[in-house]
Chain A
């Protein structure tokens, strides 16, 4: 038990150092632009379809649920407003981050893990290349850019799905739906929904890279680190979401 606690503390310390070193690499030479573009392509373009599909159906499902419930109370016209706030502030960033962690985070962990096992990371060090700078920094930067971009796209697609259900299934006014959405696009809501993706992206990239670089023990070790990367990223996203929501609501003056 004592040994496991020691290992956990060492892991947290190493994760912290890697996160710091990785993000500082963004402003320190040399810059690996080609690696950054490759990572952005893999993380961004590669995730677009899955984000599109999941966001669309989540938006439609949410709109269906709310329309059904609100129509019983005679408040169907609030569907757009509630859907909009839910998606922009909460569901959009979290959903995108979870999909990103599942698809891209697991890919980062398994790729780096197989590089460790195949001595490719050692080879980089032999050639005098800093593996954190070459491998971790481009992944952190690509996550910092692509998670927010994907979140904006996911939010827009979710709202379109919600609009479709509200107007064509629940027979609400399309004009009123969009004016509700416009009403909630205020500074506080947009800010709350914009900060989270950056934090989530950073957490996913750091956790996944750390797990990948600490891979030991062949194929089973690789399976273990990939699974751990996804599970820990999921937990980190959910916990961070709660903490950020609490902080943002306080800072933006919302009363609970």
Chain B
């Protein structure tokens, strides 16, 4: 479903991704690991067309999106559900209005139907009581639960894109988010998550890519990761031993 072919990307003079190529199938559960500034989030933004590569091709369902205009990206974007780091809820809108936002954009629901749908989604993540709260009143974990529910409110995405879904959360909140991600993926939808937390990646994903200085230095399953001798992966694996 997602194909990168020799993709390079730079922010100004700084090369972030260097000749990257990979293929991700629709139902795969993929974790992209790497250090800060290694271009993990950039990959997600390229997949969904928020950034354009300097060179190379990105294909979604075989369709080249590299040259697509912003106005033509809507059809591509609704194939995915993107959850940004820390949720990216709209500060000026309440929890209800945040979840209602895509419903108002994509559907013709009445106010009553929107209210019912928002309550149903919030109930699913145990946050119905927070319906009237503003984002600043929510904890980090609640933020992300609301963001995940907002991302599935209006349409059924075929794949999820998670940007550091558990970073900065305590163990209990991270566990809740992991369960929610697994729950959503059980419905037959794959995901690409970028993270630097290998513990959560092992719990959620089945395929692992390690990014270093803009290139993929490893691509394989859990067993391969555990037996890898690549120094960067060894550093990540130490986290498991400490955990």
Residues of A bordering B, CB below 8 Å: 38, 114-115, 118-120, 122-123, 125-130
Contacts and interface: CB of A to CB of B under 8 A. Distances in A.
Given A118-B91, A128-B74, A123 B105 contact: no
Interface stretch (B27-35, B79-87, B199-207, B219-227): B79-87
B240 interface: no
A122 B84 contact: yes
Q: Is the interface of A mostly helix, strand, loop or mixed?
A: helix
Given A122-B88, A129-B105, 17 more contacts: A115-B90, A119-B84, A119-B85, A119-B86, A119-B163, A120-B88, A123-B82, A125-B70, A125-B73, A125-B77, A126-B48, A126-B50, A127-B77, A127-B101, A127-B102, A127-B106, A128-B78
B45 interface: yes
Given A120-B90, A120-B91, A126 B77 contact: yes
A122 B50 contact: yes
Interface string B83-101: 0111011111000000001
Nearest to B102: A127
A126 B75 CA distance: 10
A6 to B, nearest CB: 11
A118 B90 CA distance: 9
A127 B50 CA distance: 11
Contacts of B88: 118-120, 122-123
B227 to A, nearest CB: 36
Contacts of A118: 86, 88, 91
B74 A123 contact: no
Contacts of B105: 127-129
Top 5 closest pairs, chain A to chain B, by CB: A119-B88, A119-B84, A128-B74, A123-B88, A126-B82
A126 to B, nearest CB: 5
Contacts, number: 47
From A118, A119, A122, name the one whose CB has the most chain B CB atoms within 10 angstroms: A119
Nearest to A35: B92
Interface of B: 45, 48, 50, 70, 73-74, 77-78, 80, 82, 84-86, 88-92, 101-102, 105-106, 154, 163
Contacts of A126: 48, 50, 77, 80, 82
A225 to B, nearest CB: 17
Nearest to B85: A119
Contacts of B86: 118-119
A114 B78 CA distance: 25
A125 B45 CA distance: 11
A123 B77 contact: no
Nearest to A128: B74
A63 to B, nearest CB: 42
A130 B163 CA distance: 22
A128 B77 contact: yes
Given A128-B74, A128-B77, A122 B45 contact: yes
Given A128-B74, A128-B77, A129-B105, A123 B90 contact: yes
A130 to B, nearest CB: 8
From A115, A128, A130, name the one whose CB has the most chain B CB atoms within 10 angstroms: A128
A115 B70 CA distance: 19
Contacts of A119: 84-86, 88, 163
Contacts of A122: 45, 50, 84, 88
9 contacts: A118-B86, A118-B91, A119-B86, A120-B89, A122-B84, A123-B88, A127-B101, A128-B77, A129-B105
Nearest to A125: B50
Contacts of A125: 50, 70, 73, 77
Nearest to A30: B105
A122 B70 CA distance: 12
From A115, A125, A130, name the one whose CB has the most chain B CB atoms within 10 angstroms: A125
Nearest to A122: B50
A108 to B, nearest CB: 13
A127 B93 CA distance: 15
B150 to A, nearest CB: 9
A135 to B, nearest CB: 11
Nearest to B151: A126
Contacts of B74: 128
Contacts of A129: 105
B42 to A, nearest CB: 12
A123 B231 CA distance: 36
